[in-house]
Amino acid sequence: MKQVNLLDHGYLRYIDHMGGDIDVVRAARTSFDAAWRSGEDEKNDRGLIRYLMKNGHSTPFEMVTFKFEVKAPIFTYRQWHRHRTQSYNEMSARYTELPEEFYVPGIEVIGVQSADNKQSRDITPGQKLTGDEELKLHAIRKLMFEANSASYEAYQELLKRGVARELARSVLPVAMYSKMFVTANMLNWFRFLNERLHHHAQYEIRVYAEAIASIIQEKCPVSYEAFEDFMRKT
């Protein structure tokens, strides 16, 4: 299984998929009882896929599904779960004790609150920092680490005192890592990517979207190309 390591402790692991580009064209051609023609002419098949995407005939793309295992910070899941067309099963802190793994961003992605976008921050990758700027960012990162560590210590203390896991978890921060399995058809993955590959998407979910995009592109190159050309927002 292909795994892409992300952030400081996270990953996206490809589990499996069902179907491919050929299934998209078969589904489309079954409308006029010509599914048997699929696979005979790659140029025509590619043309049909591109026609479907360009003209919003989207249901044939639902014939392909992808499943992933994801390890990510809980606050990333809070954004991810807004995509209600996906199926999720997440690790539960009611049943298992969470390990001491929480997300602390590198200084290069801490950024500052955007002046013109209330929901995001400004990040300039590769930006040269002065010595004072770098010291300030390291101090911020240290503060984040210490706050998360203190919360985890409180969690451990509550467990030692016999507090139920389902209640002890209430002191944990949203930077804690969790795991989930997620499945969706390719059309709904494209809708997810349309939002989460966008340059305004939060960095911590965008890196997962980029990993998903690379896998779908590998498995269904014609459909992914059509998505990039006709559906994707920049």
Residues 85 and 198 placed together within one structural domain of the fold: yes
Residues 36 and 150 placed together within one structural domain of the fold: no
The answer to whether residue 67 is domain-embedded is yes
The answer to whether residue 102 is domain-embedded is no
Specify which residues 178 forms β-bridges with.
72
The answer to whether residue 126 is domain-embedded is yes
- Each residue's pLDDT tens digit in the chain (234 positions)? 799 999 999 999 999 999 999 999 999 988 766 655 666 678 899 999 999 999 999 999 999 999 999 999 999 999 999 999 999 999 999 999 999 999 999 998 997 665 566 566 566 656 666 778 889 999 999 999 999 999 999 999 999 999 999 999 999 999 999 999 999 999 999 999 999 999 999 999 999 999 999 999 999 999 999 999 999 987
Q: What are the tokens at 77? A: 């899941």
The answer to whether residue 97 is domain-embedded is no
Out of 121, 141, 171, pick the residue that ends a domain: 171
Out of 130, 154, 171, pick the residue that ends a domain: 171
The answer to whether residue 64 is domain-embedded is yes
The answer to whether residue 13 is domain-embedded is yes
Q: Which of 4, 140, 201, 58 is nearest to 148 (CA)?
A: 140
Residues 10 and 76 placed together within one structural domain of the fold: yes
Q: How many domains does the chain have?
A: 2
**CATH number of the domain residue 180 falls in:** 3.30.1360.170
The answer to whether residue 101 is domain-embedded is no
Catalytic residue among 50, 78, 196, 232: 196
Residues 140 and 86 placed together within one structural domain of the fold: no
Residues 60 and 132 placed together within one structural domain of the fold: no
The answer to whether residue 76 is domain-embedded is yes
Beta-strand runs (E) in the chain: 3-6, 10-18, 65-73, 87-90, 112-113, 121-122, 177-185
Residue 196 known to be catalytic: yes
Give the model's pLDDT for residue 144.
Answer: 97
The answer to whether the Cα torsion of 71, 76, 80, 82 is positive or negative is: positive
Residues 166 and 180 placed together within one structural domain of the fold: no
Whole-number CA gyration radius for the chain: 21
Out of 153, 171, 189, pick the residue that ends a domain: 171
Give the model's pLDDT for residue 77.
Answer: 97
Residues 166 and 196 placed together within one structural domain of the fold: no
Most distant pair of Cα atoms in the chain: their distance: 69
Residues 86 and 50 placed together within one structural domain of the fold: yes
Give the model's pLDDT for residue 111.
Answer: 72
Residues 8 and 71 placed together within one structural domain of the fold: yes
Q: What angle, rounded to 10 degrees, do the helices at 42-54 and 221-230 form?
A: 40
Confirm if 61 and 187 have CB atoms less than 8 A apart.
Answer: yes
Residues 197 and 157 placed together within one structural domain of the fold: no
Residues 50 and 20 placed together within one structural domain of the fold: yes
Give the model's pLDDT for residue 127.
Answer: 65
Find where tokens 């997440």 sit: 90
Residues 167 and 179 placed together within one structural domain of the fold: no
Q: What are the tokens at 31? A: 């409308």
Residue 143 domain boundaries: 107-171
